[in-house]
Structure 1
Amino acid sequence: MSKIKSSNLGYPRIGESREWKRALENFWSGVISETELIEKTTEIRLRNLKKQQEKGIDLIQVNDFSLYDHVLDTAITFGIVPKRFNYTGGKVDVHTYFAIARGTDGAVASEMTKWFNTNYHYIVPELNDVTPSLVENRALTFYKEAKDKLGIDGKPVILGPVTFVKLAKGYDPQEFSTIVETFVPLYIQILQELVEAGASWVQIDEPILVTQLSKEEIAVVEKVYEAFAEHVPHAQIILQTYFEKITAYEKIVNLPVKAIGMDFVHGDSLELLKTYGFPKDKVLAAGIIDGRNVWRANLAEKRTILEVVKQLVHHNQLIIQPSCSLLHVPVTKTLEQKLDNVIYDGLSFADEKLDEAVTLAKGLNHGTVSVQADLDQANEAIKQLIETYQSNDEIRKKVAHLTTADAQRSIPFAERIEKQKQRLQLPLLPTTTIGSLPQTPEVRRTRTKWRKGEITDQAYEQFVKEQMKRWIKIQEELDIDVLVHGEFERNDMVEYFGEKLNGFTVTEFGWVQSYGSRCVKPPLIFGDVSWDKPITVKESVYAQSLTERPVKGMLTGPVTILNWSFVHNTTPRYEIMKQIALALQKEIESLEEEGITIIQVDEPALREGLPLDRKKWNEYLTQSSQAFRLATATARADTQIHTHMCYSNFEDIFDCIDDLDADVISIETSRSHGEMVSTFEENTYQKEIGLGVYDIHSPRIPSVDEIKQNIKRALQTIAPNQFWINPDCGLKTRKEDETIAALKVMVQAAKEVRNKQLASQK
């Protein structure tokens, strides 16, 4: 391999204008047919490939496109469909595919959880009593499509068997090796068919290799790839890792594969290379462009690193690529018309990152002179961005002088909760929702008109008030105990605060897929963060004026705001987190001044941000809990502080959750309710808690008995006077009729269990 090649690991599915999202939702709602769905998504997929071809990417990935999730795609490749969906074999049809992800009236959806430490959610494969078989070689289908329609000799991307099984559920961990072995012949068949079709390279993603695997699990990895080498000797496999450095480096780099893909942005991969070297018979695929952030790469610095890397590999056996799939960043910055010019020039979305990879490869192949203009342009953009970075000496000084006492409530929980109960007078097993209520097409249209200046501020505010008033009445009629104002004024739980706090800016089209068709638009942090004036008070106070029941003030926590923003590296991340916490502290004080008695500070991204390297866990968890406590420290003892978290290996952060010192925590657990409850069987938790009793990510309406079973299961471990009853997440993405029907069932179930509990106490 004499020429250093450029490559890509994965491309955003959503389309420049979220055409993919609209196609899916139109299909789900019956607006378009299955044929039209396939036509529209095929058009998007081919356009994505053609764009990469035109940019000069040498190794263009295929089979990364998905109608929902690539892990689910892998499952259906092998006919892994839970029995409740009545699958009878053969290629999995589109309706069954979406049923697994979203549920049906008669079958709950499969569990959904975070993809490593990102905000992307994957559908958890269920291996219970399922015998896998190759029912569809999707990689081959998409390889042939790219070759036939665009003349692209694509690089098929496949999720590796070790990662796939590790991320799955429904089997005894002691049988891990046996389960993986059942997939090996199927992967061999996929590889054989790809080689026969002419595929030059095959990328097998094994990100699990950057986590802490046991010696036995590493032995399984070795056995798998030795089998691939034996049975498909002509397959040029790139064993791809990302998100951190490889843990068992010396064993992994000596596996019988043609290339090893490593992340040179996150983790210390360069140090591994310097310490242990790199095999002479392998190609190194160096992930040098940050696939998880949107700030422009310093190409001169990247080139310097690559020159070092180049000396450590044999005869230019090097591939230049992003650190991971570009699924985690927006598509293109070219649509942004309202950003400050300096910030715009300092950005790099997916398309621009491909240009950066091509530039670096070209420079290594043809010398610095060939790309000097690109290097100079990048250097100037970065210089300008740093020079205009919004510094705030007052905030920096305050953060520097924070003490432990600054992050403590005035009295312990045991004393606070008594004051709160006296003030709130809530019933046993109180009901509430997580915060957001349905954002109907009318809500979204009206917000768009307001942003375009087609309606006045006053008209928009009046519209939001009408929505709040209507939904306060609906919640009262449903007899929910603690209400929410619905967040109709908010586009997104993080972006909304990014629009209001100093140090942030927002994009117009910077959308990123979170789960299914749900996309988010992370704000950009380009300066020190501070608070100017109340952000949420007006809406909260208005909603509270409409009812005698408590209405929660709704804030997004400092850890989540940080983790769900694109943060420039001028200020250390943990300092920015504390700056955000101090801003939220001011907001909480403002809500209290106006009589708000319950304030929810959501932290759905706390577990998500946990580093994959366990050595970094303690610092992250300590900093995160301190930031949350700092945000809530000045709250009155009788103000009840709630928080909400999305479920993902909750047991890993149990001590940190306790350390947050929130009065009430709600956790997204409905798809894995029993597993979460078992965590409480093994740990003591004294504060109040709500385990989501039904799944909001599915359109199906749960039954009363189903919810009662979830409640009763929790009450076997959690005391009734500690337990809250709520959906497992916000209701923003649900339709109004679905929401009302599900909440009605939830309240009825809560009342029946409550009455039984009260009767037993007499």
Structure 2
Amino acid sequence: MLKHNLGYPRIGIRRELKKACESYWSNQIDFNTLFEVGKKIREDNWKMQNMANLDLIPCNDFSFYDQVLDMSLLLGVIPESYISIPIIHNNIDLYFSMARGLQKDVWDIKAMEMTKWFNTNYHYIVPEFDKNQKFSILSNKLFDESEELKKLLKSTKKIKPVLIGPVSYLFLGKEKDKSFHRMDLIENIVPIYIEIIKKLKKKGINWIQLDEPILGLDLSKKEKKALQYAYKELSKLNYEINILLTSYFDGISENINIFQDIFIKILHIDLIEDPNQLEKILFFIKDSETILSLGLIDGRNIWKNNYTDSINKIEKTIKYIGEDRVMIAPNCSLLHVPIDVTYEHSIHKDIKNRMSFAKQKIYELVDLEKIIKGEKTILSKNISSLKKSMESSIFHDEKVKTRIKQVKECDLKRKNSFYVRQKKQHKKFNLPIFPTTTIGSFPQTKEIRSLRNKFRKNELSKEEYDKKIKKFIVNVIKKQEKINLDVLVHGEFERTDMVEYFSDKLNGILSTENGWVQSYGSRCVKPPIIYGDVSRTGDMTVDWICFAQKKTNKLMKGMLTGPVTILQWSFIRNDQPIFDTAYQIAWAIRDEVTSLEKNGIQIIQIDEPALREGLPLKKKNWKSYFNWSIKAFRISSSGVKDETQIHTHMCYSEFNDIFEHIADLDADVITMETSRSKMELLKAFSEFSYPNEIGPGVYDIHSPRIPTVEEIFNLIEKASKKLPIKNIWVNPDCGLKTRKWEEVLKSLKNMTEAAKMARIKLSN
């Protein structure tokens, strides 16, 4: 029984990769120094996994920005606009230009589109395909990292390179025009995969992992046909190399028959997201020689493995197909969890005793193998540990449990329809057409981070800290007034992160010290841990927002994070239904919303960027998800008067198929990412006849480039042809926390100038 891992976090225990990339982008280090940092992180990861005695160790799971972008560079899928830039001298600069855009000298190239990786909070750069797309091996990264690992191990026996499979790679991309379907390219791309595999084989590599998470989706005929073609061709290599076909994020029972007449040498399945698929998969492979890899360790949550449950699955599989055809692994890459729980020093022992980060999960595989081999004391310790921690009173609050059972129908609806509310709000606010605002956060400078760090270390009193934060708030209000924004925000300088901030002020949730996880590129977040029943102890944002409102005559938005996003961007408890946890958070947010209203705040934004992200991969499960997620949002937002305007924000996901559910949220205004996709989303919004107001993002905040007045105006004009003018807001596509002030001020100035131009040219 082989133990292996599908992928490991690549940011470094101290976020070394983030710091190195950002230093390189600001010309503080050269690419040789950057590469050395990457090499050190890879070596540390490999050494740890080798020390744990894994039988197979992944490589090529490291990335300087994003693994999908890595594949685009490997396969030569480079848009013409990037290839033709003469000032780009090497692959790494080409790579970063595709991810971040380039604005230098006379060159002004936008970043490529970015969206969410299936139903996770990880983002990837979307490949772009031409009808006659040519594929070729362009990058040596895969081969160089295989050689690095070979030198480290002094052998190729354990090396398992990881690639996104050909069908999932095509699925994750988009066509540049509608004259073809990207799955039509399958016959062009598979020969390059074969060439890559043969090149690895020549270097002595005996294993390769091809990730096909598309197998967890509802597949079209074209996608099924593409999978059949790809793996019929790739199966011809079965006698040359061990190809591990890897699925995760959902079960593959509905799609396994695709491979009815194709020999899959090794198949990995996710038994965390869909434990019920095991029996059907075993039946399907029983008469073949297929080796089955069991995804038993949760790569998306931080709780210890239940060894009893995992051992039952292993023993059942061994009984059915024999131990020599069984492998064990996490269900997916460990990219989605923090690196090492031993770096957490302030978590209550009853909670920490239940936790397991990436390093601990590797050793859980070792434990499972030892138990199978007869070391039953490990199993009894695991059972005792889990039972003891769950009996702790720290996890339970009966008042909170009772409250969510007492929801009335009136708690889920605003007093009147949007049509009535809109008239009242327009009369009260008297805003111009195309009103301008931002999504919430403003740049978090080194000065602010240093200030927060001193406060955390007790080097600043709360009074001193609050006084300094208030100065930042006053300053950002003046900046917004000078730019002439219509609806202002307070800048969120007191907040580390839009979820972590609230976790520190709610019972039942905690923040970690070093639990960093990559979101995209150099952007790392520390997802809170929801360990118990959630409740609000008092006002969380009211004092800051009210202070800001007193400093301006313009409208000030209250800024909150919605219940679904707090849930999705946290590691959630696994001992109760997810919807119960969602409702608990929703009631806490509702209490904050009503407190803001009572204190005179007239516009309140409840961000839900994770609504689409949390959607189950299979449509059969959508109804249940939307039932509880929309209910949770409505609980949080429906306790206010008609005149109070509720905003929400969503970004970097595909929304075309869920408009009716977005409308069911009944937010007065929704702001969304549309700039990277050049407003493509608005066509679907107009066809659906979205009833409420909408702020389509008019510039991309994840790129340092500054949009011109003309290009922003063109996007507003494009929006005005799809939506009623009275319903359109003008805003960036996301918060400005990660940008620099120089970029922000110029971009927002151009945005307000474009809005003024639109009021003159488009008002009729």
TM range (shorter): over 0.9
**Equivalent residue, structure 2, for 1:108:** 110
Q: Which residue of 1 aligns with 2:136?
A: 133
CA distance in 2, matches of 1:312, 1:254: 21
- State the SS of the aligned residue for 2:128: coil
| TM-aligned CA deviation for residue 277 of structure 1 | 5.2
Matched, 1:403 2:401: no
Instruction: Give the superposition deviation at 1:124.
Output: 0.2
Q: 1:18 to 1:692 in 2, by over 3 A?
A: same
Shift of 1:218: 1.3
Deviations 1:93-152 (A, max 9, x none): 111100000001211000000000000000000113642211234322211110013335
Counterpart residue identity of residue 110, structure 2: V
Per-residue CA distance 1:168-191 (angstroms, 9 max, x = gap): 112548534431111111101101
Residue in 2 that maps onto 1:252: 259
Structure 2 partner of 1:463? 468
Does the 8 Å contact 2:9/2:336 carry over to 1? yes
Distance in structure 2 (CA, Å) of the matches to 1:10 and 1:163: 17
CA deviation after TM superposition for structure 1 residue 264, in Å:
0.4
Structure 2 Cα separation of the partners of residues 436 and 252 of structure 1? 49
**Contact 2:238-2:265 at 8 Å conserved across structures:** no
Give the superposition deviation at 1:217: 2.1
Residue in structure 2 matched with residue 593 of structure 1 by the alignment = 598
Which residue in the other structure is 2:215 paired with? 209
- Counterpart for residue 436 of structure 1: 441
Aligned pair 1:387/2:391, yes or no?
Answer: yes
**Which one of the candidate residues 169, 192, 209 is aligned to 2:198?**
192
Which residue in 2 is equivalent to 1:144?
147
Which of 507, 510, 519 is the equivalent residue of 2:512? 507
Matched, 1:348 2:351: no
Unaligned runs of 5+ in 1: none
Letter in structure 2 aligned against 1:28:
W
Paired residues of 1:240 and 1:262 also in contact (CA < 8 A) = yes
Alignment of 1:191-590 (within 5 A): 191-230=197-236, 233-246=239-252, 247-252=254-259, 255-267=262-274, 268-273=276-281, 276=284, 278-364=286-372, 366-367=373-374, 370=375, 372-388=376-392, 389-590=394-595
Q: List per-residue Cα deviations over 1:407-450 (Å, max 9, x = no partner).
A: 01111111111111122111110000000100011111111111
1:682 to 2:690 alignment: no
Aligned partners of 1:622 and 1:656 also within 8 Å = no
CA distance in 2, matches of 1:140, 1:93: 15
CA distance in 1, matches of 2:259, 2:146: 27
Provide, for residues 560-588 of structure 1, a one-character-per-residue CA deviation record: whole Å limited to 9, x for no partner: 01111111112211011011111111001
Count of residues in Structure 1 that have an aligned counterpart in Structure 2: 752
Q: Deviations over 1:281-340 (max 9, x none)?
A: 011011000000001111122111221122222443111100000000000111111111
Of residues 47, 55, 59 in structure 1, which corresponds to 2:56? Answer: 59
Choose the corresponding residue for 2:13, options 13, 16, 25: 16
Counting only pairs closer than 5 Å after superposition, residues 637-716 of structure 1 correspond to structure 2 as 637-716=642-721
| TM-score normalised by structure 2 residue count | 0.96
Structure 1 counterpart of 2:244, one-letter code: I
Mark the CA change 1:440 to 1:253 in structure 2 (over 3 Å): closer, same or farther: farther
In structure 2, the CA distance between the partners of 1:463 and 1:253, relative to structure 1 (3 Å rule), is farther
Residue of structure 1 aligned with 2:75, choices 73, 78, 85:
78
Q: C-alpha separation between the residues in 2 aligned to 1:335 and 1:424?
A: 50
User: C-alpha distance in 2, partners of 1:434/1:428?
Assistant: 18
TM-aligned CA distance change 1:205 to 1:279, over 3 Å: farther
Give 1:250 shift. 2.6
- Note the alpha carbon deviations across 1:445-493, whole angstroms, 9 max, x for none: 1111111111111111111101100000000000000000000000111
Distance 1:279 1:646 in 2: 46
How far apart in 1 are the matches of 2:558 and 2:422?
A: 18
Q: What secondary structure is seen at the aligned counterpart in 1 of 2:531?
A: strand
Contact 2:171 2:183 in 1 (8 A): no
Q: Distance in 2 between matches of 1:628 and 1:253?
A: 44
> What one-letter code is carried by the residue in structure 1 that aligns with 2:639?
T
Note if contact 1:79-1:92 (Cα within 8 Å) is conserved in structure 2.
no
Separation of aligned partners in 1, 2:94 and 2:35: 15
Range with greater deviation from structure 2 (346-355 or 413-422): 413-422
SS at match of 2:676: helix
What is the CA distance between 1:393 and its match in structure 2? 1.7
Of residues 133-142 and 435-444 in structure 1, the stretch that sits farther from structure 2 once superposed is 133-142
The Cα shift of 1:652 comes to 1.8
Give the 3-state SS of the residue equivalent to 1:671 in structure 2: coil
**In the alignment, is the contact (CA less than 8 A) between 1:229 and 1:256 conserved in 2?**
yes
Q: Is the 8 A contact 1:140 1:190 kept in 2?
A: no
Does the 8 A contact of 1:236 with 1:257 survive in 2? no
1:619 partner letter: S
Find the aligned partners of 2:338 and 2:58 in 1 and give their Cα distance: 18
Q: Distance in 2 between matches of 1:448 and 1:420?
A: 41
Separation (CA, whole Å) in 1 of partners of 2:562 and 2:656: 21
1:677-696 alpha-carbon deviations (Å, 9 max, x no partner): 12123211111000000000
In structure 2, distance between residues paired with 1:194 and 1:507: 40
8 Å Cα contact 2:699-2:707 kept in structure 1: yes
Q: Can you list the C-alpha shifts for 1:479-532, whole angstroms capped at 9, x where unaligned? A: 000000000000111111111011111110011000110011111111111111
Letter aligned with residue 48 of structure 2: K
1:26 aligns with 2:32: no
SS of structure 2 residue aligned to 1:601: strand
Q: Is the deviation greater in 676-685 or in 628-637?
A: 676-685
- In the alignment, the residues of structure 2 paired with residue 278 and residue 97 of structure 1 have an alpha-carbon distance, to the nearest angstrom, of 44
Conserved 8 A contact 1:589-1:635? yes
CA shift in 2, pair 1:722/1:88, >3 Å = closer
SS at match of 1:32: coil
Asked if 1 retains the 8 angstrom alpha-carbon contact of 2:174 and 2:182, the reply is: no
Q: Is the 8 A contact 2:124 2:520 kept in 1?
A: yes
Q: Structure 1 11/173 Cα, relative in aligned 2: closer, same or farther at 3 Å? A: farther
| CA distance, structure 2, for counterparts of residue 525 and residue 727 of structure 1 | 31
The alignment partner of 2:33 has SS state of helix
Shifted more, 250-259 versus 640-649: the winner is: 250-259
Equivalence for 1:156: 161
Contact 1:281–1:314 under 8 Å retained in 2: no
